[in-house]
Amino acid sequence: MRRQVSDIGRPIGEAVRVRIDCAAYVDGCRHDFDPDTMTIDDPMVGDGFVWLGLRMPDEAELQSGLDALGVSGVSPAEVLTPHRRPVLTVEGSTVHIVLRTASYEDRSETIALGEMTLLVTSRAVISIRHGQASQLAASRASLERDPDRLRLGPSAVVAAVIGLVIDDYGPALDGFENDVIEVERDVFSDTHSQPVQRLYKLKREVRRLLVAIDSLDDPLARLIRVRGSQLHPEVIADLNEAEDQLDRAVTRAHSLSGLLDAALTASLTQITVRQNDDMRKISAWVAMAAVPTMVAGIYGMNFNNMPELEWTLGYPVVLTFTAVAVAFLFRQFKKSGWL
């Protein structure tokens, strides 16, 4: 039975592993934390924070995590509603960030968009992932090897996740770039067919990617502006670097879109030129065929009094004249480039 999947890659009616990882970080060191039996007020957590990673939870599972980590004032239904664009919302002490993740499927030449949601308080981070892109296991392991960074608190996790999501735009753009170069080469090849349908498809997919990543700039800038005074300088530096990288990704996407526009225009022009060439060739052959047709039409009228009708050399002379006229037309059309 084929499974149904939502637009952000969430399987419908299929059991998935919801809780990917959960740990408390105290003085930069990892400690096991079970949100089913422990809460954020557990003495083991102390002045540290807890990072809970979820994948495609339902409302009840998310609510359980919110209760365990003391995150209040957040509606699970609102958090789990799919978003078309990145979002930044500040509700009291809780920061709600929605990022769009992206990966490129080369075989189908389509962009797979997912969603990464972060719920952040001063003592907890809940990351919720939908789709297959931007898995956080490697990012979490990298942070755990850097206790000094983890001592900076939940903001260090936020900066790392945002940086990872933006990093993943690079391979997606690389995949697009390879296919765009390939289809551009096809446009100017000697083959008669033009890849117009493929160009339109790539153009549509680049547009989908642009909608997802171009609108991240404003939430990221607002995060730095609104929370900058509460963030460590290293975290601000990471966010600024992520913003610069995002700008480069958006510029690349716009360049690819422009390149596809140019290739599409060139392809349509090539089609028009080839149609004109075909029409000229057809017209030239029709003009050459008109000569014997005209002669045959005249002699086919069966008048009694026709010039040279009783002449012995009349038939070969007419054929010779017809052949010379056709050869002359052929030479002229060839010379003018119509054939």
Q: Are 142 and 19 in contact (CB under 8 A)?
A: no
pLDDT at 307: 65
From 86-95, 97-106, 201-210, the region with the lowest mean pLDDT: 86-95
- Shared domain check, 23 and 125: yes
pLDDT band at 331 (very low <50, low <70, confident <90, very high): confident
pLDDT band at 305 (very low <50, low <70, confident <90, very high): low
pLDDT at 6: 42
Residue 283 lies in a domain: no
What is the residue range of 307's domain? 302-336
- Shared domain check, 194 and 154: yes
pLDDT in tens, 55-65: 999 999 999 99
Distances (CA, A) of 274 to 182, 195, 232, 331: 21, 14, 63, 22
pLDDT band at 5 (very low <50, low <70, confident <90, very high): very low
Residue 220 has pLDDT above 80, yes or no: yes
- Shared domain check, 317 and 230: no
- Shared domain check, 259 and 319: no
pLDDT at 73: 83
Beta partners for residue 104, in sequence order = 111
pLDDT at 321: 81
Compute the distance between CA of residue 81 and CA of residue 95 in angstroms, rounded to an integer: 16
Chain mean pLDDT for the chain:
84
- Shared domain check, 62 and 130: yes
Torsions phi, psi for 203 (to 5 deg): -60, -45
Residue 12 lies in a domain: yes
From 75-84, 239-248, 285-294, the region with the lowest mean pLDDT: 285-294
Interacting residues of 272 by C-beta distance below 8 A, sequence separation 6+ = none
Q: Are 47 and 26 in contact (CB under 8 A)?
A: yes
Q: Could you say which of 270, 293, 310 is where a domain stops?
A: 270
For residue 212, the domain's CATH number is 3.30.460.20
- Calculate the dihedral angle through the C-alpha atoms of 181, 184, 190, 196, rounding to the nearest 10 degrees: 130
- Shared domain check, 170 and 60: yes
- Shared domain check, 154 and 83: yes
pLDDT in tens, 10-40: 444 444 568 889 999 999 999 999 998 988 9
pLDDT at 332: 81
Helix or strand run (H / E) with residue 263: helix 233-299
pLDDT band at 154 (very low <50, low <70, confident <90, very high): very high
pLDDT at 12: 40
From 194-198, 205-209, 212-216, the region with the lowest mean pLDDT: 194-198
pLDDT at 309: 64
- Shared domain check, 212 and 325: no
From 96-100, 146-150, 176-180, 190-194, the region with the lowest mean pLDDT: 190-194
Mean pLDDT of 251-275: 84
Distance between first and last Cα of the chain: 58
Mean pLDDT of 44-58: 91
* pLDDT top residue among 6 and 303: 303
Compute the distance between CA of residue 1 and CA of residue 137 in angstroms, rounded to an integer: 30
Q: Are 143 and 157 in contact (CB under 8 A)?
A: yes
pLDDT in tens, 33-43: 999 898 898 88
Compute the distance between CA of residue 113 and CA of residue 102 in angstroms, rounded to an integer: 5
- Shared domain check, 157 and 91: yes
* pLDDT top residue among 17 and 299: 299
pLDDT band at 308 (very low <50, low <70, confident <90, very high): low
Considering 27-36, 124-133, 182-191, 301-310, the range whose residues carry the highest mean pLDDT is 27-36
Count of domains in the chain? 2
pLDDT band at 98 (very low <50, low <70, confident <90, very high): very high
Q: Are 222 and 276 in contact (CB under 8 A)?
A: no
